[in-house]
Structure 1
Amino acid sequence: MSHLEKASAELAANSPPALYSASASASQPQYYRKLGNPGPLGLFGFASTTFILSMYNVQARGIATPNVVVGMALFVGGLAQFVAGMWEFACQNTFGATAFTMYGGFWMSFGTVFIPGSGILDSYTTNGVLDADELNSALGIYLWTWFIVTFLLLIGSLRKNMGLIVLFFFLTITFALLGAGKFSKDNAVALTKAGGSLGIVTAFVAFYVGTAELLSDRSSSWFVLPLGPIPKGRVD
């Protein structure tokens, strides 16, 4: 056995499984890094931004203008969640990658609407007067589009765990109520507040699921939180 083969054999014996590929030949060992779970980052980014906007939607402490959420929407709910989605692709989790990347895009696009420099709100103004009906109809279509996306993700979550199922169930209804609130003239405030209330519930569910994923490793946490695993029956 050559010195190179001996060194490779010793390295293979002493390296943890996450850092050494047993399938590699002795003369050409291959190494790879074990990726962390990007789920908690994406869930916490989503939960915190959703909570803030939902508090504004229920007009907590008399707040009716949501513009403070723009920074959170762009960088926490948007950028952080988008990055988490990209890393989910690396972890071969198509569902997580799709959900985080889509909602990261949602928050960045939503925040952009309220940036004065974007000119989006100004485009609904004629001679200095805002056409509220047209703007609300446009936002209603926007929110109902996300209702459709969320409903499809709800279907995709049905074989994941109960935590995700509950999360997407409440989020689906939240988008439906917020979209209906933009379309309605008589019950707009009531529907928006109802959507905000469910949004708060959704945020706390997301906080729980994110914490459960953060504490999933018994070697680095004192306890774990149940997510309600779904039995994986045989599918022919």
Structure 2
Amino acid sequence: MTRSAAVSDGRTRAADGNGNANEFTFWREHTNINLSPVAAPSVLGLWGFAVSTFMVAANIAGWYGNDTTTPLVLAPMAFAFGGIAQFLAGMWSYRARDALATGIHGAWGSFWIAYGIYHLLVALGIVPGTATSPVAATAFGFWFIGLAAITWIGAFAAMAENLAVSLVLLTLAAGSTLLAIGLIGGFGGVEIAAGWTLVASAGVAFYTGSAMVLEATYKRVVLPMGKRGPEPNAPGAKPKEMIQFQAGEPGVKAGQ
């Protein structure tokens, strides 16, 4: 059958009284899908988050450094790796059609960019730092109210797909909530607890990002992540290469 005949036949079938069902079948049979696979953007996003959060949270927890000089030294790395790299991971997550990764990496990448800019302004003497100004500490604490709200929702959403990602977000949301309370209320002990909680989040994020990259390179599960659905989780198992049919798009796979 020629292309014109096929189109004509498709129009006839679409109008033969069965309506959308036949039209849908026709287009599925006559549509070519060219896939453009991408590496999992969350590998970069999780590692950027893990490194930046560990550096800053360990300082907040009192493991090293002080409240004035140390944050200024950490800010450039947090800006570049936690901010720019993670924000780009969020944007690349659009191509992977991963709404959760897009929202979380975009939000926290933006935070780390703002964190770097803020501490640059502190270093230049343009704005006061949180260690010397209670007003600045309160304002900085309000950053974490919105971030905590977004992250709690993300943690709940991740439970449907990946338990390791959900644990990253649960500890991150808890740490953000504690940090908001500590900064706004001036509770030093709560800030320290927030630092420890965020260090835990950084550790889980490093584990999850490492599990993703090891699975991609070894073509089998090395570190289980508690994936939900048909994907295998046992170490040594090979991931299933599924062709999904979502929203009438044959051959298009959503997610990472």
Shorter-normalised TM-score: what interval? Answer: 0.7 to 0.9
The partner residue of 1:101 within 103, 106, 110 is: 106
Query: 1:71 aligned to 2:76?
Result: yes
- Contact 2:56 2:74 survives alignment (8 Å): yes
Structure 1 match to 2:207: 208
1:147-187: CA deviations, max 9, x gaps?
111112112212011101111111111001111111223x3
Gaps of 5+ in 1: 1-21
Structure 2 match to 1:141: 142
Gaps of 5+ in 2: 1-27, 231-256
Give the secondary-structure state (helix, strand or coil) at the position aligned to 2:164: helix
- Which 4+ runs in 1 deviate beyond 6 A? 22-25
Structure 1 match to 2:236: none
Query: 1:122 aligned to 2:126?
Result: yes
Structure 2 match to 1:90: 95
Relative distance call for 1:216 and 1:117 in structure 2 (3 A) is same
Q: Distance in 1 between matches of 2:59 and 2:85?
A: 22
* TM-align CA RMSD: 2.7
Relative distance call for 1:132 and 1:171 in structure 2 (3 A) is same
Give the secondary-structure state (helix, strand or coil) at the position aligned to 1:196: helix
- Contact 2:121 2:127 survives alignment (8 Å): no
Give the secondary-structure state (helix, strand or coil) at the position aligned to 1:99: helix
Q: Distance in 2 between matches of 1:68 and 1:142?
A: 21
The partner residue of 1:229 within 227, 230, 234 is: 227
Q: Distance in 2 between matches of 1:181 and 1:30?
A: 52
Bigger CA drift: 40-49 or 56-65?
A: 56-65
Query: 1:57 aligned to 2:60?
Result: yes
TM-score w.r.t. the length of structure 1 is 0.75
- Percent identical across equivalent pairs? 25
Relative distance call for 1:24 and 1:69 in structure 2 (3 A) is farther
Give the secondary-structure state (helix, strand or coil) at the position aligned to 2:76: helix
Q: Distance in 2 between matches of 1:183 and 1:117?
A: 19
Q: Distance in 2 between matches of 1:154 and 1:108?
A: 22
Relative distance call for 1:163 and 1:191 in structure 2 (3 A) is same
Relative distance call for 1:82 and 1:141 in structure 2 (3 A) is same
The alpha-carbon deviation at position 34 of structure 1 amounts to 2.2
Give the secondary-structure state (helix, strand or coil) at the position aligned to 2:72: coil
1:147-186 equivalences under 5 Å are 147-185=148-186
- Contact 1:140 1:178 survives alignment (8 Å): yes
Q: Distance in 2 between matches of 1:170 and 1:107?
A: 18
The alpha-carbon deviation at position 123 of structure 1 amounts to 4.3
Query: 1:38 aligned to 2:41?
Result: yes
